[in-house]
Amino acid sequence: MEITYIGYSLEMIRLLINSTYFKVICIITKEGVLSKGFKKKLISDNIYISEVDDNNIENIIKTRVCLIYKYRHIIKKNVIEQHVFFNIHPGSIRDNRGAHPVRWSILLGNKFTYMTLYRIMGIDEGEVIHECKLRI
């Protein structure tokens, strides 16, 4: 499956480009995430790289399916309607939405948190694909 990755996680980029399930066509990240050498390798592998740190990504996305992880901007509604977006959220979208959900879980004294994969239908809402419970 061809995907666009949107986010700031170098670990996720490495996992995705080494995956047998996905073919990364485009990476949208911020400057400083990719080293010059790694960026050069990705470009030589025909992966389009965009180092923008804003939410004006509608003309950059190169695939129908997008995966988001560790991205701080809200995807605009008109962009959501043009693509299929999946997000990995470090918390439950049922009761731990928004920024810094793990920090809030710790501050609230929770014993567990979650990692949630969901299809974006709006801000921190959508169809839950999988949720994994993790001990704090």
* Burial grade of 132 (CB within 10 A; 0-12, 13-18, 19 or more): exposed
Structural tokens at position 121: 């239908």
pLDDT in tens, 19-76: 999 999 999 999 999 999 999 999 999 999 999 988 899 999 999 999 999 998 989 9
Which pLDDT score is estimated for 100? 80
Percent of the chain with pLDDT over 90: 69
Cα distance between residue 124 and residue 51, in whole Å: 24
What is this structure's pTM? 0.89
Band (99; pLDDT cuts 50, 70, 90): confident
Cα distance between residue 61 and residue 45, in whole Å: 17
Q: Give Dmax (Cα) for the chain.
A: 47
Which pLDDT score is estimated for 70? 93
Band (122; pLDDT cuts 50, 70, 90): confident
